[in-house]
Structure 1
Amino acid sequence: MNGPSPLAGESLIRVRYAETDAMGVVHHAVYPVWFEVGRTELMEARGLPYTEVEARGYYLMLSGLNVEYRRAARYGDALTLTTRLGSLRSRTMTFLYELRREDELLATGETRHIATDRTYRPSRLPDDVLHILGGESSARLPSR
């Protein structure tokens, strides 16, 4: 994920005690939850909260998830999650993630999503939604 992205944002995360194991290391299952935080905040910063997508009759269902763990995050760490839109098509999208503690890369990941209607059938997203998601800008996201 080198270089500028047309759609990127940062989420600040402070590791909570409940997210760690007995050794104070973040449990592997927490990373996808953090990815959701980044994705949700990115969409909100673009002016398209996920609640609006659902209100318009669409779901962005998870169709794939990958996490590459490089270094352990620990209780109390201040982390920066960078979320980028990797690809966008009429029915599918991919988000890319980098999790860092200062300049140290801790994890990378990817989530793939397919747009469906309320009956869970694949559905083309409206042009205005595609335009908002695919727009040319970056966003600084609020802390969590």
Structure 2
Amino acid sequence: MKGTYTLLVSLAAPADIEFGAKGPRALDSGWYAYTGSAFGQGGFSRIDRHARVASGENGARHWHVDYLLGHPETDLAADVRTEASDVECAVADRLAEEIEPVPGIGASDCDCGTHLHFAPERDSLEAAVRRAHESAGNSPSVETGH
């Protein structure tokens, strides 16, 4: 299955994280939403790869989110998916209206300002993510247990 996803990631303590060529960012503790697309080979199996990076099984850093997921203070808690729709930028733009954007992360192949967003608490972040996926015209599903 292919589509658009948003990862829900907790950061237990403030951290300076190096995002490859984008450089270091000082991130507050709290919750982060990273929106990506899964239209390449394997579709949503890309999320399984992200989970392996988060668990430490995979040390490769291919995308900006890998630097966040690879930090020892992070936890990939869940993801929200919209199947069969390429709404990555629409979701990211909508999230920027509701929660704090982290400029320049995950948007190197489009005109968006970012695909990474922050909220202090999970409930507000997850609600914003669900609304963003719903506004894209589809019913999202939430996957947990990464």
Larger radius of gyration: 1
TM-score between both structures, scaled by the size of structure 1: 0.26
Structure having the larger proportion of residues in strand: 1
Q: Give the helix-richer structure, 1 or 2.
A: 2
Q: TM-score, normalised by structure 2?
A: 0.26
